[in-house]
Amino acid sequence: MPMGSSDRISVGVLLERASGERRVALIPADVKKLMSKATFVIESGAGLEAGFDDKAYVDAGARIANLREVLASSDVVIKVRPPGIDEMPLASSILVSLGGHDSGLRESLRKRSVIHFALERVPRTTRAQAMDVLSSQASIAGYASVLEGARSLGILLPMLTTAAGTIKPARMIALGAGVAGLQAIATARRLGAVVHGFDVRADAREQVESLGAKFVALDGNIGAGEGAGGYAREQSTDQQARLRRALSTHLATMQLVITTAQIPGHRAPLLIDRETLALMKPGSVIVDLAAETGGNCEVTRSNETITVNGVHVMAPTNLASLVASDASRFFSGNIRSLLTYLLEESGGLHFDPSDPIIGALLAGQSTTSSSAAA
């Protein structure tokens, strides 16, 4: 393990270099809260795009350094996005970042003897909830999806009366009422739209209605898809086709559609096909938040807007970065919870593979490296 400047664990935070990525993984306020447990070295400019300058990190007790120095002195390297080839941590370090689904990254880190705590692997349990970046960032994406969708709509979301007349409120629906969908529903309600929600999980109905939105209930068990652990289960091809047809009559009446439906470990369900697009009003907007797992709409293409029969299908994959400051605050809060769990009072690292959270983070990796030390 690289040697930090003291006998405490040294935590390094890198600048994000991926195009469009403006978040930072750890903010100064959280560095300050963790100072008694570790030392911190921050790459110069890492927080700037999110509104946190180098001075704020120094005031919190951290040291500022360049990329090479951060990598050379960090036992634990923290990032939002997976590291590029020039940002790889040194052998025996621990990397904490997204990238858990990237098999190329996994192999590259294995060859370098770097342990990867991939943030996608944080278990979705009550105990680990405070460390769950997928949930915190999904919530922000749900909010931002409504703003992005509304910007592309040629109509207003709220009812508006002027001397020129009255405009009816827009009709919006969220397909998938989990973390992102519920936040999209709450945001569209605040903006004055007439809001609907749909999910295959029965529990979601009450949550949608508690936000003042109308739950779209389908006939029979077409819409049923309760899975294990509070998640949806994958439906058969036939069930999915029946669901698409049942939803299409509702979608034909909507102007803004936010789709968030996902099944952990599987391709996202296809909820909107070309047949449905043909029924929708020209000028309507679909924001597909499931693009990274295949998309909920047949024409979805990541980070592009595809227009079919006048219906615009957007598929932004980094909406949280648009609100980089607050997205970083949440991301950093999750990282602080994770570090609080991992860092021991003695200055070492809690590294027990039989622990349910650490075991999940280590899944499939050899732990013979000295990274368990310190």
Beta strands in 199-299 (DSSP E): 214-215, 256-259, 285-288
Q: Which of 125, 221, 302, 307 binds ligand NAD (CB under 6 A)?
A: 125
Minimum CB separation from ligand NAD for residue 61, in Å?
31
Residue 332: which of 25, 93, 103 has the closest Cα? 25
CA dihedral 10, 15, 16, 20 (to 10 degrees): 160
- Where does this chain touch ligand NAD (CB under 6 A) — which range of 43-51, 208-216, 255-263, 276-284? 255-263
Rule CB under 6 A: say whether 179 interacts with ligand NAD: yes
- What is d(CA 167, CA 106) in angstroms, rounded to the nearest whole number? 53
Cβ nearer to ligand NAD, comparing 42 with 271: 271
Asked if residue 70 lies in contact with residue 327, where contact means CB atoms within 8 angstroms, the answer is no
Amino acid at 196: H
Contact status: 142 vs ligand NAD (CB under 6 A) = no
Integer Cα distance of 123 and 132 in angstroms? 8
Give the count of beta carbons closer than 10 Å to the beta carbon of residue 43. Answer: 27
Q: With respect to ligand NAD, which residue has the nearer C-beta, 5 or 210?
A: 210
Residue 103 CA, chain-centre distance (Å), reads 19
* CB burial readout 310-325, b (16+ within 10 A) else e: ebbbbbbebbbbbbbe
Residue 121 a catalytic site member? no
Contacts of residue 116, defined as CB under 8 A and 6 or more positions apart, other chains included, come to: 94, 95, 97, 99, 100, 105, 106, 109, 365
Exactly one of 12, 83, 197, 269 binds ligand NAD (CB under 6 A); that residue is 269
* Position with the least CB separation from ligand NAD: 178
184 binds ligand NAD (CB under 6 A): no
Q: Which stretch binds ligand NAD (CB under 6 A): 13-21, 53-61, 74-82, 192-200?
A: 192-200
Choosing from 124, 189, 233, 301, the catalytic residue is 124
The reply to whether 232 sits near ligand NAD by the rule CB under 6 A is yes
Residues 270-309 that bind ligand NAD (CB under 6 A): 271
Instruction: Kindly tell me which of 258 and 285 has the beta carbon lying closer to ligand NAD.
Output: 258
- How many residues sit close enough to ligand NAD to count as binding (CB under 6 A)? 32
Three-state DSSP at 275 gives helix
* CA gyration radius, the chain: 23
Query: In whole angstroms, what is the distance from residue 242 CA to residue 227 CA?
Result: 19
Task: Please classify residue 229 by burial: count the beta carbons closer than 10 Å to its beta carbon, then call 0-12 exposed, 13-18 middle and 19+ buried.
Answer: exposed
Q: Does 42 bind ligand NAD (CB under 6 A)?
A: no
CB of 141 to ligand NAD, least distance (A): 10
- Given candidates 44, 129, 253, 340, which one binds ligand NAD under the rule CB under 6 A? 129
Told to check if 316 binds ligand NAD by CB under 6 A, we report no
Is residue 231 annotated as part of the catalytic site, yes or no? yes
Structure-block tokens of residue 319: 């909406």
Please pick, from the candidates 8, 116, 171, 201, the single residue that binds ligand NAD as defined by CB under 6 A: 201
Q: Catalytic: 135?
A: yes
Cα-based distances in Å from 310 to 94, 180, 193, 326, 369: 49, 26, 21, 34, 56
Q: Is residue 100 close enough to count as binding ligand NAD by CB under 6 A?
A: no
Is 10 among the residues known to form the active site?
no
Active site residue 366: no
Residue 262 binding ligand NAD, by CB under 6 A: yes
Catalytic annotation, pick one of 135, 152, 325, 369:
135
Active site residues: 124, 129, 132, 135, 231
Contacts with ligand NAD by CB under 6 A lie at: 124-126, 129, 132, 135, 138, 175-181, 198-201, 204, 225, 230-232, 235, 243, 260-264, 269, 271
